[in-house]
Structure 1
Amino acid sequence: MHRSRPVLSACLLFLLSCSPVAAQSAIGVAMDDFSYTDTSAEPTNQTAAHERRLAAFMAALRRDIGEGGRYRLVPSAQDGAVFKVVGGIQKTSTLVQWAKVAVINVGAKTLVLDKLYSFRGDNDEAWERAEVFVSREVMAALGTPAPVALAAFDFELEDMTAASAGASAASDATYLAEITGGVREALGQSGRYRIVDVRGEAGKTGALRDCGGCEASIARKLGADQSLIGVVRRVSRTEYTLGFQVRDARTGAVLARGDSGLRMGADYSWKRGAVRLISDRLIDSQQATDAPRR
């Protein structure tokens, strides 16, 4: 019996896109049609049959992913895709075909699935069996937790020394920018977070560390799930502390915070300390929390 046709898949996509609940909570998945190559050198031209079977394969795969409402199919990353599925099928002989399938975590720019499968036969039944197996593999890969959209705001300086020299303002700004860049890079490379662009928002309300949690509402307007603010407290020219706080963008609730305690070192060591603090107190702790659920 044939699997669902493209018409059924199109109807499913329409229904999902029209559902407010699905649009808000389902994880976006982009998937282009797989490529197909026949290098078997068989004398009979089977192009029409292969096009039909590939269309049925893709329709069934899209249907399987869309069922249950956990995922929604979208055209591209610009349309909200968290994952992208790509692949290709190659026929190498009368009885042997290969399917290469990859699933990309778009935010983290990492592969969560990259496998080569073989299946025997080139008839409707063989293609259907292959789709069932590939579908299970893709769905398992999509079970990887989607990255959290995080608005990581620029780190701020709280200078507690008696003399806040204007001459050092430029160098302070440079070191703060290095901290912010280093922290965002570490968060993005962890695969757990997708960094939301906050350019143009910093400074609109003054120091975010003193705004009573306003960073959460700013993050929500930017489409982020969470907000992060950080501060360097200069105690003396060679002593400082680092702190950060993460809030839920919807509720404003504090989800995580960390403080380095007093540290010794010049201002050029701020970046190293901040990245270490974020790695130890946020990234690693969250990964440890997630581990039992996988």
Structure 2
Amino acid sequence: MHRCRLVLSACLLFVLSCSPLAAQAAIGVAMDDFSYTDTSGEPTDQTAAHERRLAAFMAALRKDIEAGQRYRLVRSAQGGAVFKVVGGIQKTSTLVQWAKVAVIDVGTKTLVLDKLYSFRGDNDEAWERAQMFVSREVMAALDTPAPVALAVFDFELEDMTAASAGASAASDASYLAEVTGGVREALGQSGRYRIVEVGAEAGKAGALRDCGGCEVSIARKLGADQSLIGVVRRVSRTEYTFGFQVRDARTGAVLARGDSGLRMGADYSWKRGAVRLVTDRLIEGQQANDAPRR
């Protein structure tokens, strides 16, 4: 019997150690009770009923968050919270109530969700419907991956023509600035990336395209998850190619790269070509990979 208990315990430990939940700790979520305000001006005191319904609302919301065991609730005053959920409900008339709900990424101090909802009715059924809807919204926000902190360095020009026109240096710099700004804007607006301010730090390293990955350490110091460098190669005064490379800021591993491979247009079209290539490879390409397979 003693040996059976030992075998059973060993099997249980093996199963637990191999389970996904054991391999990955649950994500901490802090959530205090929502506030409640009644400005409807109704003569009947409904304080007790509202307190009971709010308590049921919060209990159901907490249950939904912990249901899949991916998340664990922690006290707001304690550490370990990756997200914080805050909210409040206000009754403005006999049949109309409003719920303000926000989900905050504690690490980046950014809003993952910030919405105002309205729901009709002030009975148990109305509160239950409201809770179910708010719960779906909160869970969707928690399950949305946090944007990748990306340091996008200024794009560089590699002039492969026989002779460079010194008079065009100012216009080249202007077009390169447009490329950098356009790529940063496109990536930032995608929601997949949070653009990290590079500042003058990168200028000290010289040409990043030839430094063997030195941009990685700069990106890491800036608090970025990844780095992106790009180059415009001038083949002639009216032809160019474009390339970029993304590295992991911790390991230096190349995560993505792209090259237009074609001689395209003139200098005033640099921005359009660069943004199109980066969008295809880093945004639309990733969305295709994320699409559910049938």
**TM-score where L is the length of structure 2:** 0.70
**Distance change >3 Å, CA 158–CA 52, structure 1 → 2:** farther
Offset at residue 277 of structure 1 (A): 0.7
| 3-state SS in 2 of match to 1:204 | helix
Offset at residue 219 of structure 1 (A): 1.2
Matched, 1:222 2:219: no
Matched, 1:118 2:119: yes
**Distance change >3 Å, CA 277–CA 111, structure 1 → 2:** same
Structure 1 residues without counterparts, runs of 5 or longer: 1-20, 76-80
| 3-state SS in 1 of match to 2:43 | coil
**Distance change >3 Å, CA 34–CA 180, structure 1 → 2:** farther
Q: Greater Rg, structure 1 or structure 2?
A: 2
**Distance change >3 Å, CA 280–CA 158, structure 1 → 2:** same
- Percent identity of the aligned residues? 81
Q: Residue in 1 aligned with 2:269? A: 269
Offset at residue 88 of structure 1 (A): 3.9
**Distance change >3 Å, CA 133–CA 214, structure 1 → 2:** same
Backbone CA RMSD of aligned residues: 4.2
| 3-state SS in 2 of match to 1:164 | coil
Offset at residue 133 of structure 1 (A): 5.7
**Distance change >3 Å, CA 71–CA 155, structure 1 → 2:** farther
| 3-state SS in 1 of match to 2:89 | strand
Offset at residue 91 of structure 1 (A): 1.6
Matched, 1:193 2:193: yes
Offset at residue 202 of structure 1 (A): 1.8
1-structure distance, mates of 2:172, 2:231: 12
Deviations 1:116-151 (A, max 9, x none): 25375478x987886576344302222112111101
| 3-state SS in 1 of match to 2:202 | coil
Q: Residue in 2 aligned with 1:9? A: none
2-structure distance, mates of 1:152, 1:26: 29
Question: Which amino acid counterpart does residue 209 of structure 1 have in structure 2?
Answer: R
Which has the larger displacement, 212-221 or 134-143?
A: 134-143
**TM-score where L is the length of structure 1:** 0.70
Offset at residue 263 of structure 1 (A): 2.3
Structure 2 residues without counterparts, runs of 5 or longer: 1-23
Matches within 5 A, 1:125-164: 134-164=134-164
**Distance change >3 Å, CA 50–CA 292, structure 1 → 2:** same
1-structure distance, mates of 2:211, 2:72: 36
Deviations 1:191-239 (A, max 9, x none): 1110011112222211111111121222111111111000000111011
**Distance change >3 Å, CA 262–CA 133, structure 1 → 2:** closer
